[in-house]
Amino acid sequence: MKNEFLQNILAFARFNCLIDKENNMVDKLSDPIGRLMGLRYKSHPWHGIYIGKDAPEKVTAFIEVVPTDTVKYEIDKDSGYLRLDRPQKYSNVIPALYGFIPQTFCGDEVGEFCMQKTGKEGIKGDGDPIDICVLTEKDITHGDILVHARPIGGFRMIDGNEADDKIIAVLSNDVVYDTYKDITDLPSIVIERLKHYFLTYKDMPGRNKDTEITHTYGVDEAIEVIKHSVSDYQKRFDNLGKLMY
């Protein structure tokens, strides 16, 4: 009886075009059941927020850290709340809004794509949602927010033997950055600052540095990375989707 009820809900969602058929992902912001649940419970930022109907060309991003933060916040995967990851040891701060793309996962496909592009072996995804930096000329003073962003490129970062790509995006309709269509359009100093942050923010006394950025890639490759991360998410959390829908 329970399975039949869940199947009826899923059929209703499909009938009302609430599922992105290409990505097979439910838009819970339009789903009436999801809206009712959202009135009582906070949606989990990783699993409960829709990536966006125009993804991967335009995505929803959950922002964890902003440039004024002197500590690094990170999503707690179990509860969905932000937790303090660590104080920044040195004075470097993220020069953009920083967070992740919901309903993505750095798994086997992301790792294999990294190996194809670098020629390295033994690379796997880092097991987290795909990271994203969102450029804007506005001063946004706190994280734990959702923004709409347009990917323009990314960094192929490897941490140990794990693929840890950083998607670079611009805030949708930003009066300055929305004019940039590809990462090659950005001033070189913007790219250098982002690289410096990611190559130094994990520096800790007594810890060997094992992080590198092998490539800076453009918008087309960024879209491919996001597609692989969406596919990895569907494989990794297939049972979650069945339970929810």
Closest to 143 (Cα-Cα) out of 27, 233, 63, 208: 63
Q: Which residues are CB-contacts of 185 (< 8 A; sequence separation ≥ 6)?
A: 152, 179
53 is in an annotated binding site: no
Query: Distance between alpha carbon 238 and the CA centroid of its chain, in Å?
Result: 18
Q: Which amino acid is at 12?
A: F
Provide the 8-state DSSP code for 93: -
209 is in an annotated binding site: no
**CB-count exposure of residue 35 (10 Å: 0-12, 13-18, 19+):** exposed
Q: Helix, strand, or coil here: 1?
A: coil
Provide the 8-state DSSP code for 26: E
Residues 139 and 115: their CA atoms lie apart, in Å, by 37
201 is in an annotated binding site: yes
Residues 93 and 84: their CA atoms lie apart, in Å, by 15
Q: Which amino acid is at 223?
A: I
86 is in an annotated binding site: yes
20 is in an annotated binding site: no
Q: Which residues are annotated as a binding site for Mg(2+)?
A: 126, 131, 164
Q: Which residues are annotated as a binding site?
A: 72, 86, 98, 126, 131, 164, 201
Q: Which residues are annotated as a binding site for substrate?
A: 72, 86, 98, 201
